[in-house]
């Protein structure tokens, strides 16, 4: 077994690998960029080495710097994690050429599966079913358009290199194909350095089901059952589960055998995932699933497989890379219970899942029965240079119903402070009717997007509670003498509070009834409020006869209450100001986050309509299209292609005019 390994990655996966290595008595070496000098993974490892600037190509994507760090540290092996260089055959070759063990498959296997078109041809020859489509080398736009028409819309354009939803576009109509092809090629070129694509038939009721496989140097290959990853947005997974709901023994056997055939076809070693798409228009059937791709690395969602099998997949990776045989045979692997994983991101679901940056000032997760794989801590900054993943939440239960209920409870009890997160969206998704009934599909989120991302409207009791909390005094507790004024003659201590919530103003009268006890008049009824106890920024409250635990986050003229898995934002308005909290006129197009400008689609004097694309920018490895917020005339364009811009930068200004 190795004595020292280097982890060529960052964040959550680096921390996860380090923990298993430490448990096995293996010393670890972390690498970090300038943006990660104080990162958690660097502190967890036995030693850490700086490898370059904040930009990934200057650090985590630099083969030379990573290999040099391993040699400098005397590491015997390198674990690539996922993303970055994990599926780069040249990196694996460079590691081996340096006399270091690559903890992953051999370079030939990575290459065989690295190009989706070649991989599909190889799988077809191995007897693995593939999705109908065009997988040829020619990339002439007219030819691709013709192939798409021949396949029949809808089709899916996919980058032949890489993964993670980059360079992927669904096209429903022939007239939209050209623009979608251009966008997919741009994104693929930026993400993988290869703009070639393939075209596949898009299944209208698909399920994304993948199979975990493992091979060793002794010719052994096993599968560790399936994961359902159908809940996706922008072709990126959101909540995964294992096993797949509705899976029959016959289909599990067929998929498992197909995945093993795929691994044997390339003499696969280590951990890998064979991804299938299943047509579930008439249920799950063994003859209605198709090979999509093989990921030659550990997957983000591997913890759900660990939960139902009791296997530490990173430990298996280390043992197989050290030359040991697989710890278990296929007959020894069993499914125990059900598991879910939810990916918690710094992103704004209400604004199209726009990635967010910022310093995390609080991370609150349940401690009992929940596994949290996190790469950041309170006080860490979410950088614009990398993926905005904060943590993965994993739960396990004896059956699907119990595990899903545990996931919902855990999400409702969690909070990220300092930056926006998708926790509320995930909680809503965990309660979505089709998902709860065991019928997920890859379009479920898109079909229900409006309800899943809707801003929650607070109940009357929550609004009443916000009115009370907005009056909190400087001294501990809720002393009415401190919060509602001092001496009053022949009248109750009271104050009128005006709150702006969900686009409307509410005027409430708060009356003190004693220490920590209040009556709130909302114009319709009187709502009793009692503050039962306080713990840091969380209160136990009795509101209108119901006891709830409430988290509080304060800002200038704002108050955010967190309860039941939802965050309710209140702005504190001046009741005498009739224009309080009036929205901006909407005459500026502003960069929502740091990034660089890829395309400018407008010019000064142009007449534009609301929703018209004006700027295409790239941020956090995503391409964002910014549109006109209203009809008007372009007054100025303050951005140019190739320009790096900061969050809040004004890109385009509009003036009044008819579109």
Separation of alpha carbons 576 and 256, rounded Å: 68
Distances (CA, A) of 80 to 72, 320, 620: 17, 15, 20
Closest CA to 222 of 233, 210, 213: 213
Largest CA distance in the chain: 91
CB 408 within 8 A of CB 427: yes
Query: What six digits make up the tokens of 630?
Result: 């209203």
Are 272 and 376 in contact, with CB atoms under 8 Å apart? no
DSSP 532-560: EEEETTEEEEEETTEEEEEEEEEETTEEE
| Residue 596: C-alpha distances to residues 564, 640, 651 (Å) | 38, 9, 11
Provide CB contacts within 8 A for 322, sequence distance 6+: 1, 2, 77, 101
Only one residue has tokens 């358009």, namely 145
Decide the pairing of beta strands 133-134 and 197-201. antiparallel
Q: Which residue has the tokens 């200038």?
A: 556
Beta bridge partners of 391: 344, 374
Q: 624-628 long-range CB contacts below 8 Å, 24 or more apart?
A: 624/354, 624/592, 624/595, 626/589, 626/591, 626/592, 626/651, 628/589, 628/652, 628/654
* Torsions phi, psi for 266 (to 5 deg): -120, 20
In whole angstroms, what is the distance from residue 377 CA to residue 394 CA? 18
With beta carbons less than 8 A apart as the criterion, state whether 541 and 532 touch.
yes
Please state, in angstroms and rounded to a whole number, the distance separating the CA atoms of residues 531 and 408: 26
Which active-site residues does the annotation give?
297
Closest CA to 42 of 15, 17, 69: 15
Residues 6+ apart with CB under 8 A from 256: 211, 223, 225, 226
Do 8 and 31 contact (CB within 8 A), yes or no?
yes
Alpha-carbon distance 85 to 95, whole Å? Answer: 11
Pairing relation of β-strands 77-79 and 4-7? parallel
Which residues, in sequence order, are CB contacts of 140 under 8 Å at separation 6+?
none
Q: Which position has the token pair 């979505």?
A: 432
Place of tokens 């907005």: 470
DSSP 629: S
d(CA 184, CA 442): 19
Give the separation between CA 295 and CA 82, rounded to whole angstroms.
10
């Amino acid at each position: 077994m190795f004595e020292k390994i280097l982890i060529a990655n960052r964040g959550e996966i680096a921390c996860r690998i380090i923990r298993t290595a430490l448990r096995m008595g293996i010393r670890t070496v972390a690498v970090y960029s300038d943006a990660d000098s104080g990162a958690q993974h660097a502190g967890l490892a036995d030693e850490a080495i700086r490898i370059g600037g904040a930009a990934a190509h200057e650090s985590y994507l630099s083969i030379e710097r990573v290999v040099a760090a391993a040699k400098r540290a005397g590491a015997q092996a390198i674990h690539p994690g996922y993303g970055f260089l994990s599926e780069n055959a040249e990196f694996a070759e460079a590691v081996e050429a340096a006399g270091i063990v690559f903890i992953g498959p051999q370079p030939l296997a990575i290459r065989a599966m690295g190009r989706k078109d070649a991989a599909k041809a190889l799988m077809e020859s191995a007897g693995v079913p593939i999705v109908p489509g065009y997988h040829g080398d020619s990339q002439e736009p007219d030819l691709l358009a013709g192939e798409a028409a021949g396949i029949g819309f809808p089709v899916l354009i996919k980058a032949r290199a890489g993964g993670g939803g980059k360079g992927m576009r669904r096209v429903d109509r022939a007239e939209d194909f050209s623009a979608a092809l251009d966008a997919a090629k741009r994104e693929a070129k930026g993400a993988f350095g290869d703009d070639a694509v393939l075209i596949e038939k898009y299944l209208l009721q698909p399920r994304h089901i993948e199979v975990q496989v493992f091979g060793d140097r002794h010719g052994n290959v096993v599968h560790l059952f399936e994961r359902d990853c159908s809940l996706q947005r922008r072709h990126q997974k959101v909540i995964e589960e294992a096993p797949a709901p509705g899976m029959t023994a016959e289909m599990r056997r067929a998929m498992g055998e197909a995945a093993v055939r795929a691994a044997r076809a390339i003499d696969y070693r280590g951990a890998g995932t064979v991804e299938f798409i299943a047509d579930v228009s008439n249920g799950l059937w063994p003859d209605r699933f198709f090979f999509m791709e093989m990921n030659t690395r550990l997957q983000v969602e591997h913890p759900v497989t660990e939960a139902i099998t009791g296997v530490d997949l990173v430990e298996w990776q280390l043992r197989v890379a050290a030359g040991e045989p697989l710890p278990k045979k296929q007959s020894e692997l069993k499914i125990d219970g059900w598991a879910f994983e939810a990916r918690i991101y710094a992103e704004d679901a209400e604004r199209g899942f726009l990635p967010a940056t910022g310093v995390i000032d609080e991370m609150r997760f349940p401690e009992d029965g929940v596994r949290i794989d996190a790469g950041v801590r309170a006080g860490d900054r979410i950088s614009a240079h990398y993926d905005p993943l904060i943590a993965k939440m994993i739960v396990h239960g004896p059956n699907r119903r119990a595990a899903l209920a545990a996931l919902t409870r855990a999400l409702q009890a969690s909070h990220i402070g300092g930056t926006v997160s998708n926790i509320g969206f995930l909680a809503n998704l965990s309660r979505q009717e089709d998902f709860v009934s065991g019928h997920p599909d890859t379009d479920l989120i898109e079909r229900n997007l409006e309800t899943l991302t809707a801003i929650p409207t607070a109940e009357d009791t929550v609004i009443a509670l916000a009115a009370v909390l907005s009056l909190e005094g400087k001294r501990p507790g809720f002393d009415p003498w401190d919060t509602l004024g001092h001496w009053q003659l022949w009248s109750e201590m009271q104050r009128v509070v005006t709150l702006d919530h969900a686009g409307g103003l509410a005027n409430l009268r708060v009356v003190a009834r004693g220490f920590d006890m209040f009556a709130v008049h909302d114009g319709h009824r009187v709502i009793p409020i009692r503050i039962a106890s306080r713990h840091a920024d969380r209160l136990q409250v009795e509101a209108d006869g119901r006891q709830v635990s409430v988290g509080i986050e304060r800002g200038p003229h704002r108050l955010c209450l967190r309860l039941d898995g939802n965050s309710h934002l209140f702005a504190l308005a001046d009741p005498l100001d009739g224009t309080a909290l009036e929205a901006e006129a909407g005459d500026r197009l502003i960069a929502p986050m740091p990034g660089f400008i890829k395309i400018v689609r407008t010019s000064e004097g142009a007449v534009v309509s609301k929703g018209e694309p004006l700027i295409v920018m790239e941020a956090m490895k995503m391409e964002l299209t910014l549109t006109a917020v209203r009809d008007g005339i372009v007054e100025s364009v303050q951005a140019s292609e190739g320009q790096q811009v900061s969050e809040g930068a004004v890109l385009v200004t509009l003036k009044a005019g008819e579109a």
